[in-house]
Amino acid sequence: MFMDADYSVPIEAVENGLAQLENGHDAAIASRALPESNVVQHQNFFRELSAKLYTFIQNTYLGFNYPDTQCGFKLFTRKAAHDLFARQRLDSVIFDPEILWLAKRQGYTVAQFPVDWTHVEDSRIQYDSLRKSLFVFQELFRIRTLH
């Protein structure tokens, strides 16, 4: 399991994630975009809009249908974690989609579960320049070629 250090998702959400693993899934990812999720404090409009654009490009490029891969609360079975993270090549903020892409390629099942999520100002990586934003896409487009 890993989670964001700012506790934007309360640790109690682990119960929902574990239930997905107990139901036979290899991974369980929290999603702020599910109807049952509750976003207590939103990010600013520009950040949410750019996240939607990123998700659209990512899902198209990697063949996903996940409305939210960047929520930093994910659980894995021991077997899936050892296999997937051993294959990981990126060490940037885009490691989440790489792991999910590897899971898809290896035939692992991934469940999504709703969470309560609160944006914590100044606790995350800042995308305050065009260069940082372009870096994210550069990393994203490396995933398929790395593997």
Q: What is the pLDDT of residues 52-108, one digit of tens each?
A: 999 999 999 999 999 999 999 999 999 999 999 999 999 988 899 999 999 999 999
CB of 95 closer than 8 Å to CB of 136: no
* Residue 2, token pair as written in the block: 């890993």
pLDDT confidence of residue 145: 94
- Identify the CA nearest to 9 among candidates 112, 85, 103, 115: 115
pLDDT confidence of residue 141: 96
- Identify the CA nearest to 119 among candidates 45, 52, 18: 45
Q: Which residue has the higher pLDDT, 43 or 146?
A: 146
- Identify the CA nearest to 60 among candidates 108, 112, 101: 101
CB of 56 closer than 8 Å to CB of 64: no
- In this predicted structure, the answer to whether residue 127 has a pLDDT above a threshold of 70 is no
pLDDT confidence of residue 21: 98
pLDDT confidence of residue 1: 97
Rounded average pLDDT over 126-140: 82
